[in-house]
Amino acid sequence: MGTKDRVIKLQNTKTRKKEVFAPINAENVRMYVCGPTVYDRAHLGNARPVVVFDVLYRLLREVYGPNAVTYARNFTDVDDKINTRAAESGRPIGDITAETVQWFLDDMGALGALEPNHMPRATQYIPQMVAMIEDLIAKGHAYAAEGHVLFAVDSWKTLYGKLSGRSVDDMIAGARVEVAPYKKNPMDFVLWKPSSDDLPGWDSPWGRGRPGWHIECSAMSYELLGETFDIHGGGNDLMFPHHENEIAQSCCANGDDSFARYWLHNEMLQVEGKKMSKSLGNFFTVRDLLDQGYPGEVIRLVFLQTHYRKPMDWTDKKAKEAEATLRKWRALTAGIEPASSAAAAVLDALADDLNSAGAIAELHKLYAAGNAADLLASAQMLGLLTGEMGAWAAATSVDLSRYEAQLFEARQKAMESKDFSAVDQLKAAFVAAGLEVRMSKAGVELVPGTGFDPAKLEEL
């Protein structure tokens, strides 16, 4: 494995600077990432932070050792969206959340994501949330009102907004805050709310109810990683209010300005240059793409080709190029033993604020140099070219050169006879088999595309 003296630099949202990563304890590096609310299939945008922080997890394991890194990612399994889905479908909430959790794990596994060390569900940590809320009330940072408990933003006003770079006044002016008569300040947010008999609820000092969204991550990260840990990650859409509120709660509960030391946020995902939305017809779940024949490994490579702090654009063209690249890499590394560790240049790129695009560029260089062992070790460190992800690419071993020669010869004859029917028939057969046909003066090239079926070539 790697060496602990390798310098990792990360862009810390909290300080707006790229900082040298210095773990609190190099023998116990800890990371928490906000996970999904489980009421439906994960869409393509949900997958981006999973892949981004999976790569960071892999890098930390490479540098500090696999047993020295603890990664926690939660499941929000108590939420109004889940309640609505249950009411609409008539299905029990527990059935919906259990099914959706498994969907998520299956789909993210198909993208090569390692499972975190801890995957806590909010409903498993209600007592810890109640205890933290009681502590916040005792310290004057929260108050009970009409069956609710609210965090008092004024009690933390000097530091509230530091992560997102906003003042409380700016946030009040620009935010859609829930107006409620029991709030002392419009920005005060819910830690606990009452539940009617038809909704999930737990007994508490404030009556039967359920937690607000923000308190769950504070309570679970404290329980699993301690009051101070190394890295907190998520999509930049969570920066405000979710992460801002997490910091406020946790720091007030801890009694000081300690919580997560490094905050990382990934940018959002687009499809063919536009924001993904159902109204535009460009909304895809990960399962949609897998069912359409896009291999998970291809989806992963498309993701890794863009730096995590830049908007990522999913396009069909990128997917086809990624598939062609992976087929070439798999052909070169077939039957090869990987090197003992990833190439230094690949690790250097990742250590520079998780520059996965730079790391992929280094993989291209290793391929060009014919360095199969280093290519395989480096790609596998990034979650590519692994055995369990390779079934889709079994056709890589098919020698297409004889089919290219067959089409080239048919074209030569057609040039003389002016009868191109045989050429057209071959081209149609190759396209039907999932090959892209590229013809030029220099020759013929057949490129496997999504859904390439070599069995269809045997008929030729």
| Nearest in space to 292 (alpha carbons), one of 312, 320, 313, 330 | 320
**Domain co-membership, 122 together with 226:** yes
Q: Which of 355, 381, 396 is the last residue of a domain?
A: 396
Lowest mean pLDDT among 112-116, 178-182, 204-208, 437-441: 178-182
Angstrom CA distances, 314 to 5, 51, 53, 123, 282, stand at 36, 14, 19, 34, 10
What's the rounded Cα separation, in Å, for the pair 67 and 61?
7
**Domain co-membership, 390 together with 411:** no
When pLDDT is averaged across residues 194-221 and rounded to a whole number, the result is 96
Query: Would you say 319 and 450 are in contact if contact means Cβ atoms under 8 Å apart?
Result: yes
Percent of the chain predicted with pLDDT > 70: 96
For residue 248, the model assigns a pLDDT of: 96
Judged against a pLDDT cut of 70, whether residue 103 lies above it is answered with: yes
Judged against a pLDDT cut of 70, whether residue 76 lies above it is answered with: yes
**Domain co-membership, 126 together with 107:** yes
**Domain co-membership, 362 together with 445:** no
For residue 434, the model assigns a pLDDT of: 84
**Domain co-membership, 389 together with 418:** no
Judged against a pLDDT cut of 70, whether residue 175 lies above it is answered with: no
For residue 247, the model assigns a pLDDT of: 96
CATH number for the domain harbouring residue 97: 3.40.50.620
For residue 2, the model assigns a pLDDT of: 45
Q: Per residue in 246-291, pLDDT tens?
A: 999 999 999 888 899 999 999 999 999 999 888 888 889 999 999 9
pLDDT band for 211, please (50, 70, 90 cuts): very high
Lowest mean pLDDT among 143-152, 218-227, 277-286: 277-286
Q: Is residue 128 in some structural domain?
A: yes
pLDDT band for 87, please (50, 70, 90 cuts): very high
**Domain co-membership, 243 together with 364:** no
> How high does pLDDT run on average in the chain?
92
Q: Is residue 304 in some structural domain?
A: no
Q: Per residue in 20-52, pLDDT tens?
A: 999 999 999 999 999 999 999 999 999 999 999
**Domain co-membership, 120 together with 241:** yes
Domain total of the chain: 3
**Domain co-membership, 113 together with 229:** yes
Q: Is residue 178 in some structural domain?
A: no
Structural domain boundaries, residue 227: 9-139+156-165+212-266
Q: Per residue in 394-413, pLDDT tens?
A: 655 577 888 988 999 999 99
For residue 394, the model assigns a pLDDT of: 67
CATH number for the domain harbouring residue 351: 1.20.120
**Domain co-membership, 404 together with 261:** no
**Domain co-membership, 40 together with 134:** yes
Q: Is residue 306 in some structural domain?
A: no
Q: Is residue 144 in some structural domain?
A: no
Query: Would you say 241 and 214 are in contact if contact means Cβ atoms under 8 Å apart?
Result: yes
Q: Is residue 363 in some structural domain?
A: yes
Q: Per residue in 372-396, pLDDT tens?
A: 999 999 999 999 999 988 888 765 5
**Domain co-membership, 237 together with 376:** no
3-state secondary structure the chain: CCCCCCCCEEEECCCCEEEECCCCCCCCEEEEECCCECCCCCEHHHHHHHHHHHHHHHHHHHHHCHHHEEEEECEECCCHHHHHHHHHHCCCHHHHHHHHHHHHHHHHHHCCCCCCCECCEHHHHHHHHHHHHHHHHHCCCEEEECCEEEECHHHHCCCCCCCCCCCHHHHHHHCCCCCCCCCCCCCCEEEEEECCCCCCCECCCCCCEEECHHHHHHHHHHHHHCCCEEEEEEEHHHHHHHHHHHHHHHHHHHCCCCCEEEEEEECCEEECCEECCHHHCCCCEHHHHHHCCCCHHHHHHHHHCCCCCCCEEECHHHHHHHHHHHHHHHHHHCCCCCCCCCCHHHHHHHHECCCHHHHHHHHHHHHHCCCHHHHHHHHHHCCCCCHHHCHHHHHHHCCCHHHHHHHHHHHHHHHHHCCCHHHHHHHHHHHHCCEEEEEECCEEEEEECCCCCHHHHCCC
**Domain co-membership, 390 together with 242:** no
